[in-house]
Amino acid sequence: MSYPEQPEQNPSGQPNPYAGGPQDPAAGQAPQAPQYGAPQAPQYGAPAPGAPYGAGAPQAPYTPGGVPGAPAQDPGKTLGIVGLVLSIIGCTSLIGLILSIVALNKSKKAGYKNGIALAGIIVGAVLLVGSIIALAAFGGLIGEVLEKCAELGPGTHYVDGVEYTCS
């Protein structure tokens, strides 16, 4: 089988690399070692000719976790869990509320939804309001007892079936 001869020039007037005629001096010869100072094709990972030292092949962009293409982790996830746990505990509900708000903001900036942080905000706010109401009621009760003791004086007193022990 014979192939048709390739034209020595393509329609744009440049030499045809597939022609194999007199314009292709390397046709049929062994590859030659490059001469010192001659331009070379860049190697993978090597800088291009004339590039500054340290300029290599383009690198994949950094992704958290170190694996290119791996999905990034939600930056507010752990903080949201901590905020929810602290929100449930009555005496630390304010701290849990604040941490949950910070976690939700971090997640929003990274483009994630953080339901755990949102739950921490809701639970923290409800328990904080509840504890403020309970503290106000308890404070009012203590105030009444102190006022009654100031009126009755030291000792144990019974008023309307209620025992007051004042010191």
Q: Where are the domains of the chain?
A: 77-152
Contacts of 54 (CB under 8 A, 6+ apart): 47
pLDDT (tens digit, 9 = 90+) per residue, 34-91? Answer: 666 656 555 555 555 666 665 555 565 655 555 555 456 888 999 999 999 999 987 8
Give the pLDDT confidence score for residue 8 in this predicted structure.
Answer: 58
DSSP bridge partners of 158:
163
Q: Which of 16-30, 50-64, 103-117 has the highest mean pLDDT?
A: 103-117
**C-alpha to C-alpha distance for 167 and 161, rounded to whole angstroms:** 19
pLDDT (tens digit, 9 = 90+) per residue, 125-145? Answer: 999 999 999 999 999 989 888
Token pair in block for residue 139: 């404070």
**C-alpha to C-alpha distance for 100 and 150, rounded to whole angstroms:** 45
With beta carbons less than 8 A apart as the criterion, state whether 93 and 131 touch. Answer: yes
Closest CA to 57 of 67, 47, 69: 47
Token pair in block for residue 130: 């509840």
Residue 82: which H helix or E strand, with range?
helix 77-88
